[in-house]
């Protein structure tokens, strides 16, 4: 049985906590078309880092060869850039995704929890 993990702590929580809610809302607009869930529900956004000049998002996919990866990554970069109001880069994290990264209750329909 998998244990649901909370969203990982983002670096931005220390530097700009006032942006967390807006980022969360923006990222929830990005749906994975294969599964019909957004990137926050799936736990794909692993970190958000911001400094005076630039933002940086670390994001993974549910599978390393996701055919929608380029579009999902670009959507996350664009959404973050809009909220952060600065140039933003995106890093594709190759760590393996696990269903336990999903938000509590989201995986029930899939038989994960």
In a domain, 86, yes or no: yes
Q: What is the pLDDT of residue 91?
A: 97
Q: What is the pLDDT of residue 64?
A: 84
Any idea what the CATH number is for the domain that residue 83 is in? 3.30.300.130
Please determine, for residue 1, whether its predicted confidence score (pLDDT) is greater than 50.
Answer: no
Give residue-wise pLDDT tens across range 68-107.
Answer: 999 999 999 999 999 999 999 999 999 999 988 999 878 6
In a domain, 113, yes or no: no
Burial environment of residue 24 by CB neighbours within 10 A (0 to 12, 13 to 18, 19 or more): middle
- Domain range enclosing 64: 12-98
In a domain, 1, yes or no: no
In a domain, 60, yes or no: yes
Structural domains of the chain, count: 1
Q: Is the pTM of this model over 0.75?
A: yes
Q: What is the pLDDT of residue 3?
A: 42
Q: What is the pLDDT of residue 38?
A: 96
């Amino acid at each position: 049985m998998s244990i649901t993990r909370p969203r990982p702590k983002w670096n931005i929580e220390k530097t700009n906590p006032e942006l967390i809610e807006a980022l969360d809302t923006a990222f929830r607009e990005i749906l994975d078309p294969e599964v019909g869930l957004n990137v926050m529900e799936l736990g794909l956004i692993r970190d958000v880092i911001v400094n005076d000049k630039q933002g940086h998002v670390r994001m993974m996919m549910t599978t390393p060869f996701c055919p929608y990866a380029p579009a999902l990554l670009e959507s996350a970069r664009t959404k973050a850039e809009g909220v952060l109001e600065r140039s933003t880069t995106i890093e594709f994290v190759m760590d393996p995704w696990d269903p336990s990264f999903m938000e509590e209750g989201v995986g029930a329909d899939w038989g994960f929890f």
